[in-house]
C-alpha cells in the first residue's frame, strides 16, 4: 500500500511538541483523537531495539482527556465501565473497558481518579466525550464534561527511571505502577503517572502548562544524553509482542470485553450498575464465539493496512488478522487475530495470503513475550 502525507488542518490538530519532533526527524504520522500522533522516527526496528535498551521521549498529546467533574461524576464514570470502581482511590490509575448497552467496546482508556468528584478518562482513539455527554443528559446527572488542555509526553524505556530521578529527585522513585502524583519543575507542578503504552517501563507527564511542558521536554533531552535518550513513539513491534491492544485496530465496537481477554476487568458479581451489564451476563452464560489470539507466520515481512482473513488447511475462513509486524525476536511475522470458536487452540494451523502469496502459521497465546 502506498503511503501518502497527512494534510494538516484545524480538524487534524498539531500538538505543542510538533515543531520539536519535526526538527528531531519524525518520518511518519497517524491521527489519534483528531490530532497528529508520531508513528515513526526512521527505522521501526532500530527504534524497537533502542526502546528496549535505553529511553525515549514520546509526543502522545493525542491521548486526550475527558474530564468529568461534579457531584454525580462517580456515578457517570461507573455507568460507562464494567470495572468496579467503588473502591477506587485518589491518585491511582485504572484500566477500564468502556462499553455500550449491547456490551460493545466504546474505548479502553486509563481512568485517573483526581478526587471523589473529578476524573480524567485518558482515551484511546474514539469520541468518548460525546458518549459521556449523551449518558449525562439522559440520566440527568449533575456533572461537567470537557476536554481539558492536557498534552501528555511519555518517558519510556528501562533507563526512564534513572532519567526521571535525575530530573525530579528521589520522590519519583516512590511512585508505584499506575500511581500518580504532582512533581515540581521550575515552579510548575506536573501530574506524572508511572504508566505508558509500552512494557519497558516509564512515565506519562500530563502537561497542563504548555510553556512549562515545552521547557521540560527540552530539559529531558538535555539531561538524558548520558542515557542515550532519543525521540520515539509507540512502537508497533513492541506493542504486538507485548499484546498491548489498540482500540480501532485489534478491537472495536463489534467486540465485547470477554472476546478481548478483559475478563478480570468485568465485575458482574459486584453491586455496581453499568451499561450493558445484563448483556454481559448473557454473553458469559452462553460463552463467546470468537477470541483474540496470537498468530505466528512463516513470513519475513508484512504491511497491514486492513484486516486479512485467517484460513484453516481447507481454506475456510476461521478468523481475522487485525495487527501484524515482523518480529526481530522471533524472526518471523507475528500478529493479533480475532479467531472463531473452536479454532483458538494453541498450535492450530493457519494460512494467510499476503500479496498473492500464501504463508503457513499457527495460533498461539498472548502476549508473545
Residue 7 DSSP class: P
The parent domain of residue 294 ranges over 289-369
Residue 303 to residue 264: CA distance in whole angstroms = 32
Residue 78 to residue 177: CA distance in whole angstroms = 22
3-class SS of residue 23:
helix
Tell me the average pLDDT across 302-319.
93
Residue 67 to residue 112: CA distance in whole angstroms = 10
Looking at residue 310, its pLDDT comes to: 97
Residue 261 lies in a domain: no
Residue 144 lies in a domain: no
Residue 347 to residue 295: CA distance in whole angstroms = 9
How far CA 32 is from CA of 97, 164, 170, 301, in Å, comes to 18, 26, 34, 25
pLDDT over threshold 80, residue 4: no
pLDDT band at 5 (very low <50, low <70, confident <90, very high): confident
Residue 143 to residue 87: CA distance in whole angstroms = 20
3-class SS of residue 242:
coil
Note whether 158 and 229 are same-domain residues: yes
Q: Is pLDDT larger for residue 210 or for residue 2?
A: 210
Looking at residue 356, its pLDDT comes to: 87
pLDDT digits (tens, 9 = 90+) for 324-360: 999 999 999 999 999 999 999 999 999 999 888 899 9
Residue 46 to residue 36: CA distance in whole angstroms = 22
Residue 316 lies in a domain: yes
Looking at residue 286, its pLDDT comes to: 97
Instruction: Calculate what percentage of the chain has a pLDDT beyond 70.
Output: 99
Query: How high is the mean pLDDT of the chain?
Result: 96
pLDDT digits (tens, 9 = 90+) for 55-79: 999 999 999 999 999 999 999 999 9
Note whether 52 and 154 are same-domain residues: yes
Residue 74 lies in a domain: no
Residue 281 lies in a domain: no
User: Which CATH number characterizes residue 175's domain?
Assistant: 3.30.1360.120
Note whether 58 and 158 are same-domain residues: yes
Note whether 48 and 197 are same-domain residues: yes
Looking at residue 303, its pLDDT comes to: 86
Note whether 236 and 163 are same-domain residues: yes
Q: What is the DSSP string of 208-236?
A: -SHHHHHHHHHHHHHHTGGGTEEEE---H
Our CA angle for 211, 214, 216, nearest 5°, is: 110
Residue 141: alpha-carbon gap to chain centroid: 28
Looking at residue 8, its pLDDT comes to: 77
Looking at residue 2, its pLDDT comes to: 67
Residue 359 lies in a domain: yes
Residue 189 lies in a domain: yes
User: Which CATH number characterizes residue 366's domain?
Assistant: 2.40.30.110
Note whether 203 and 328 are same-domain residues: no
Residue 246 lies in a domain: no
pLDDT digits (tens, 9 = 90+) for 251-280: 999 999 999 999 999 999 999 999 999 999
pLDDT digits (tens, 9 = 90+) for 124-178: 888 999 999 999 999 999 999 999 999 999 999 999 999 999 999 999 999 999 9
What is the value of pTM for the model shown?
A: 0.96
Other Cβ atoms within 10 Å of 317 Cβ, number: 11
Under a CB-based contact definition with an 8 Å cutoff, are residues 319 and 312 in contact?
A: no
Note whether 59 and 161 are same-domain residues: yes
Note whether 158 and 31 are same-domain residues: yes
How far CA 103 is from CA of 65, 80, 106, 184, 197, in Å, comes to 23, 11, 9, 41, 25
Residue whose C-alpha is closest to residue 243's, from 189, 302, 292: 292
Note whether 304 and 225 are same-domain residues: no
pLDDT over threshold 70, residue 114: yes
Looking at residue 101, its pLDDT comes to: 97
Radius of gyration of the chain (CA): 21
Burial class of 30 by CB neighbour count within 10 A (0 to 12, 13 to 18, 19+) = middle
pLDDT band at 11 (very low <50, low <70, confident <90, very high): confident
Looking at residue 7, its pLDDT comes to: 79
Note whether 235 and 310 are same-domain residues: no
- Alpha helix locations (H) across 266-369? 277-286
Q: How many domains does the chain have?
A: 2
Residue 73 makes CB contacts below 8 A (sequence gap 6+) with 117, 118, 119, 141, 143
Residues in the chain: 369
Other Cβ atoms within 10 Å of 172 Cβ, number: 17
Tell me the average pLDDT across 222-236.
98
Instruction: Calculate what percentage of the chain has a pLDDT beyond 90.
Output: 93
Note whether 58 and 203 are same-domain residues: yes
Amino acid at each position: 500500500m502506498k503511503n501518502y502525507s497527512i494534510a494538516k488542518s484545524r480538524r487534524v490538530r498539531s500538538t505543542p511538541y510538533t515543531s520539536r519532533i519535526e526538527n528531531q526527524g519524525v518520518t511518519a504520522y497517524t491521527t489519534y483523537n483528531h490530532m497528529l500522533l508520531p508513528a515513526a522516527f526512521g527505522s521501526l526496528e532500530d527504534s524497537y531495539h533502542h526502546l528496549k535498551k535505553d529511553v525515549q521521549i514520546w509526543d502522545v498529546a493525542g491521548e486526550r482527556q475527558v474530564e468529568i467533574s461534579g457531584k454525580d461524576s462517580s456515578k457517570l464514570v461507573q455507568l460507562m465501565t464494567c470495572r468496579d470502581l467503588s473502591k477506587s482511590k485518589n491518585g491511582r490509575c485504572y484500566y477500564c473497558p468502556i462499553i455500550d448497552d449491547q456490551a460493545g467496546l466504546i474505548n479502553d482508556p486509563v481512568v485517573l481518579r483526581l478526587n471523589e468528584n473529578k476524573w480524567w478518562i485518558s482515551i484511546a482513539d474514539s469520541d468518548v466525550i460525546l458518549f459521556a455527554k449523551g449518558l449525562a443528559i439522559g440520566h440527568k446527572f449533575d456533572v461537567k464534561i470537557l476536554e481539558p488542555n492536557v498534552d501528555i509526553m511519555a518517558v519510556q524505556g528501562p533507563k526512564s527511571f534513572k532519567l526521571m530521578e535525575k530530573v525530579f529527585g528521589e520522590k519519583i522513585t516512590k511512585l508505584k505502577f499506575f500511581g500518580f502524583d504532582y512533581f515540581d519543575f521550575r515552579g510548575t507542578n506536573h501530574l506524572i503517572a508511572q504508566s505508558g503504552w509500552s512494557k519497558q517501563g516509564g512515565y506519562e507527564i500530563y502537561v497542563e502548562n504548555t510553556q512549562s511542558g515545552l521547557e521540560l521536554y527540552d530539559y529531558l533531552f538535555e539531561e538524558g544524553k548520558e542515557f542515550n535518550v532519543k525521540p520515539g513513539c509507540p512502537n508497533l513491534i513492541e506493542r504486538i509482542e507485548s499484546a498491548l491492544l489498540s482500540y480501532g485496530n485489534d478491537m472495536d465496537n463489534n467486540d465485547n470485553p470477554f472476546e478481548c481477554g478483559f475478563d478480570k476487568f468485568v465485575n458482574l458479581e459486584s453491586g455496581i450498575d453499568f451499561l450493558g451489564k445484563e448483556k454481559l451476563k448473557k454473553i458469559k452464560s452462553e460463552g463467546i464465539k470468537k477470541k483474540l489470539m496470537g498468530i505466528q507466520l512463516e513470513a519475513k515481512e508484512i504491511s497491514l493496512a486492513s484486516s486479512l482473513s485467517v484460513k484453516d488447511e481447507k481454506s475456510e475462513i476461521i478468523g481475522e488478522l487485525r495487527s501484524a509486524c515482523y518480529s526481530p525476536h522471533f524472526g518471523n511475522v507475528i500478529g493479533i487475530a480475532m479467531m472463531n470458536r473452536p479454532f483458538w487452540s494453541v498450535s492450530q494451523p493457519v494460512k494467510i495470503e499476503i500479496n498473492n502469496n500464501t504463508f503457513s502459521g499457527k495460533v498461539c497465546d498472548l502476549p508473545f513475550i
